[in-house]
Structure 1
């Protein structure tokens, strides 16, 4: 950054402050000389900007290098760091059945996590807003902070979301119920984003090989939905629906966007009801879920193994379509189901190899578990703060 590029002293000062603050957000502590080297600003400018940022509540000045015992000769270096109490971010995974909130400091360290279950069939928009507000309040309190400390909250919802945080109406009220207006109850700066997009953000930040630039991350519990990274950037579309998978309704061998968890449960219950022999028949119908189907398959149960094979064939078609349309190199199966999905993916890889023409994508399980969406929410919140920190107001020291 050069000090002659702005058209007014006020704009110049803001640009210089932003450059120093972005540097402060990346490092544990720094000297004025280090900030000068990073920003190409003069010493007097850096010191003036740091004084401003201290006064604003962003930075704190530490002992100089001589007082800290770091140097003994020459002029002691003035030292600074981001103030621990400058602010926090909140990630909220507002799923259909479960809400999870994570509070993190501006370094990305998790300070607290809280979750709550929802009665999905009966929980309307008002119930969901009340649950979100109470959960965030609880998580922030557990972190030893208050609502005024929140710089930004990012909410992930199972619905397409446009650039203004709104979801289209769709064919029923599901999307509107999932995205009922969180900014109105959470207060402060709030960003609402599609949950699969946040899963893709989390995978890119925490799990991908740095060389992976074309990846589809598929949430696969109750419904399939993809967050797509192409050329290293998140693909959105006009209404935020680029990763919606309703097209699977007309894909032979897929039939619907129902997820792995939902189909494992539904297929097993239907087969048991029809009298198919299985250890699962000893369970009440409402006790048969994906976890028990996967466990039965691990024990060699023929019905469960058949369901695993069918799920693998279906995932191979989903992966092939994503690869054909988007030219992605990798499909990541994410969400809570990812911890147990390896047997399904073994079938999917075999089907891709045997039934489809190359190139075919690599299909892998996420290592981030059920927290993938909330991790993505925190990551997006941190990236927004780091990109434009002066768009936010820090909490002043008391």
Structure 2
């Protein structure tokens, strides 16, 4: 947060704007630190002590900041410490997938307070799926005693290319009849997902692509906290990819950045189909319900099943080829491998070996540490970014 010294009043020429600038600077400083003393805040913002006292008094009165106990020890009167009130608001992240709906609620520091998850039928129609997702959010709020009006912002991840107006884009026949396609949930291209969810949960909802949100979550709380430029590869019930620049999701003009799986020549769809066919055969043999095909193939391959290993190696190869294409285009700091297939060392090792043969420079491959919560957490981060952007907004003079 940039410093806003008192002497700017002559340059700004607007006392109200100057006060807003100073309040934003103070709030930003408190967001960036566990706590600050009055003297520390004064130094960071670059204002006089009386002004710093006024800023703190205003932020405490508005319940954005609270006084906390400082460290024990020392001589004399202890300095007063202040911190940003994480509980001043709450955000929710939602994940609507083929097989599940999930919601998490966090405070404004991003600490997860509750989560709720329910299984879904992959063939469920759009209205029923959206109602189930909304019920999941309400159940999550109930766990921490929140009403809808106490939730500051809501984000949601869905499959498919999401346009700037937060609608799932219909690319079933490609923009020029090319036959290119991206997967989306049944009926989701025909409904206004953001509007339907907003009405159902009682709060405005921002919708984004689930894989891109998973990438955002890995940078925020997962395997890639030390990396801002990423290629994220998702391998689960389907394959997908996303790109982060400077810690922010790269959407592209049409919301389709990273949708390289739409290229038939990569073979993602056909290879994933073979994986699921192999997993379905293993499930039938053991009389298991559907939904764990990838896990069953990995387990069988680890135990030496040659057919399963062959299919798994093929999936790793085609996914690595897609990762290499993106990596050669954007030259990321790291590639993050996520989704259910990333669990366990075998698939990650196959992916790493294949990727190493396809890039100009060695690229670090990180394995997701967030698991099934990644999309919902990324959606929460999206909502949190909206809250903080509004909180730290300074109007033009």
* TM bin (shorter chain): 0.7 to 0.9
Alignment of 1:1-150 (within 5 A): 1-3=4-6, 4=8, 6-61=12-67, 73=76, 77-83=79-85, 85-124=87-126, 126-150=127-151
* 2:251 counterpart of 1:236: yes
The residue that corresponds to 2:183 in the other structure is none
Alignment of 1:378-393 (within 5 A): 378-389=380-391
Matched positions, count: 372
CA contact (8 A) 2:95 2:158 kept: yes
Report the secondary structure of 2:213's partner residue. Answer: helix
Alignment of 1:1-398 (within 5 A): 1-3=4-6, 4=8, 6-61=12-67, 73=76, 77-83=79-85, 85-124=87-126, 126-171=127-172, 174-176=187-189, 180-181=193-194, 182-208=197-223, 212-230=227-245, 232-249=247-264, 251=265, 254-257=266-269, 263-269=274-280, 282-284=285-287, 289-340=293-344, 342-354=345-357, 356=358, 358-359=360-361, 361-389=363-391
Give CA-to-partner distance per residue, 1:99-125, whole Å, 9 cap, x none: 11111112222111111122231231x
Structure 2 CA distance for partners of 1:57 and 1:377, relative to 1, 3 Å: same
Give CA-to-partner distance per residue, 1:339-377, whole Å, 9 cap, x none: 13x3233233333445x4633644443222111112222
Shift, 1:157, TM fit: 1.3
Report the secondary structure of 2:217's partner residue. Answer: helix
CA contact (8 A) 1:102 1:113 kept: yes
CA contact (8 A) 1:219 1:335 kept: yes
CA contact (8 A) 2:268 2:318 kept: no
Structure 2 CA distance for partners of 1:53 and 1:364, relative to 1, 3 Å: closer
Question: Unaligned 5+ residue runs, structure 1?
Answer: 273-278, 392-398
Whole-angstrom CA distance in 2 between matches of 1:7 and 1:162: 41
CA contact (8 A) 2:341 2:347 kept: no
Structure 2 CA distance for partners of 1:213 and 1:88, relative to 1, 3 Å: closer
Root mean square deviation, CA, Å: 3.1
Structure 2 CA distance for partners of 1:132 and 1:45, relative to 1, 3 Å: farther
Report the secondary structure of 2:193's partner residue. Answer: coil
Shift, 1:39, TM fit: 0.9
Structure 2 CA distance for partners of 1:38 and 1:286, relative to 1, 3 Å: same
Deviates most, 211-220 or 167-176 = 167-176
Whole-angstrom CA distance in 1 between matches of 2:56 and 2:271: 51
Whole-angstrom CA distance in 1 between matches of 2:144 and 2:23: 29
Give CA-to-partner distance per residue, 1:152-201, whole Å, 9 cap, x none: 11111112223332232322865426862223333344322211111111
Q: Structure 2-normalised TM-score?
A: 0.82
Shift, 1:296, TM fit: 1.4
CA contact (8 A) 1:222 1:259 kept: no
CA contact (8 A) 1:30 1:80 kept: yes
Report the secondary structure of 1:90's partner residue. Answer: strand
Whole-angstrom CA distance in 2 between matches of 1:72 and 1:286: 67
